Chains A and B, each alone.
Chain A
């Protein structure tokens, strides 16, 4: 069974540009989560999808971030326009069951905004 995959693995963009990150969850997992780790700090929750619906997006930092999950399969996270403080590692995770179950993480996308 393939794990969670993320693309790209690294992205370097200039301030003001747009970047789109993609996450493919484990097949059959309805729950998809986005997290971010900035500057070696703790990993912080951004949002949670159940199938194509946003269940909770209270962790999204501002309206420059837009997440979608059309068709309930893969998800994209767009940052537009990117700012310096957006640099960090963006993780995607998925789980089969809703609730306090383990989440399976991808390798992350390292975003650098210069």
Chain B
């Protein structure tokens, strides 16, 4: 069975600090995808990034960067120069092929990390 672990339940930083959210996953699949979602106070999950298991290049998007390391089964997320608007719950997720040979995928989520950025 697949599993995603986000060991940090809550993180609190001061604005402009850098912060890294950890994500460790377990899967027996050779092909899989990893995702990060942000859940602001409004409640909806906002898609941030999707990475496939064959692409270990780090990715940077503005103040956001992601470090995918297959050797340690980790997909960590760093926010540089954090801002108050970054305060949210962040979820890491792993795709999983549906049962019975059906096409499509479902997401296996971690428990989320509550990030609070204080002014």
Contact = CB atoms under 8 A, between A and B. Distances in A.
Interface of A: 3-4, 9, 31, 33, 35, 40-45, 48, 50, 55-56, 58-59, 89, 91, 93, 98-108
Contacts of B35: 102
Contact of B43 (A59, A102, A107): A107
B59 to A, nearest CB: 14
A100 B52 contact: yes
B97 to A, nearest CB: 8
Given A45-B108, A100-B95, A56 B100 contact: yes
A99 to B, nearest CB: 6
Contacts of A48: 98, 102, 104, 106
Contacts of A104: 47
Interface of B: 4, 32-33, 35, 37, 42-47, 50, 52, 91, 93, 95, 98-100, 102-112
Given A42-B4, A44-B109, A105 B37 contact: yes
Contacts of B111: 40-42
28 contacts: A9-B43, A33-B106, A35-B107, A40-B112, A43-B45, A43-B112, A44-B109, A48-B98, A48-B106, A50-B104, A55-B98, A55-B102, A55-B103, A56-B99, A56-B102, A58-B99, A89-B43, A91-B45, A93-B45, A99-B103, A99-B104, A99-B105, A100-B50, A100-B105, A101-B50, A105-B44, A107-B43, A108-B44
Nearest to B33: A100
Given A102-B50, A103-B47, A45 B106 contact: yes
A9 B111 CA distance: 22
Nearest to A54: B102
Nearest to B114: A40
A41 B48 CA distance: 21
A41 B112 CA distance: 8
Contacts of B103: 50, 55, 98-99
Contacts of B93: 43
